[in-house]
Amino acid sequence: MKNSIRTFLFSVITILLIMLVSCNPAAKYEKAEASEIQDYLSKNSNLLFVKKTSGLYFLDVTVGTGRVPINKDTVWVKYTGKFLNGTTFDTNVGTSDSLKFPVYQGYMIYGIEEGISYMKEGGKSMLVIPSSMAYGTMGFNIIPGYTPLLFELELVKVKAGPGK
């Protein structure tokens, strides 16, 4: 009798562990995020975003005429960050301040770092950034996890980095 109870309990625990391991609770959030991005792109089909291999969606609004920033260059950027529903969560447009940071040095979310690398000084672009290139599964401040973001960027100035 004791052996059959042990065997039964072992079987039940094994089945529960297999079910637990095979479940991917993140899958529903990832699917919802992908759907949100596709809905945005469909509703804005006049905006011809190019999907990069990283998953970033990039659109040149105005092609600049200056320097393309590379690793360790310092850039000055005007930006507006929005949720895909159009709600602005952050901007420096309309202020005298530009966001200044060295490129690919970890000061910005990766989607902005990559997006800047496709621009020329004086250019304007739009980026749809999946959460994996922004604030990930945990989010940050008012940005929930699994939230794709829309950024409008203007690359105001590029200064060559060290050794250039």
Task: Quickly state the pLDDT bin for 33 (edges 50, 70, 90).
Answer: confident
Torsional sign, CA 164, 155, 60, 62: negative
Are the C-beta atoms of 156 and 43 separated by less than 8 Å? no
Ordered by where they begin, the domains of the chain are: 26-159 (3.10.50.40)
- The average pLDDT across 55-80 equals 95
Query: Residue 24 has which token pair?
Result: 């991917």
- Buried (b) or exposed (e) across 75-90, using 16+ Cβ within 10 A? bbbbbbbbbbeeeeee
The pLDDT of residue 15? 66
The pLDDT of residue 27? 76
pTM of the model: 0.82
Cα(134)–Cα(140) distance, rounded to whole angstroms?
9
- The average pLDDT across 36-53 equals 93
Task: Quickly state the pLDDT bin for 23 (edges 50, 70, 90).
Answer: low
Residue 154: closest CA among 80, 74, 50: 80
Range in 27-31, 32-36, 51-55, 133-137 the model is least confident about:
27-31
Residue that the structure tokens 């905006």 belong to:
47
Say if residue 104's pLDDT is above 60. yes
Are the C-beta atoms of 69 and 103 separated by less than 8 Å? yes
Check residues 4 and 30 and name the one with the higher pLDDT.
30
**SS3 of 79, please?**
strand
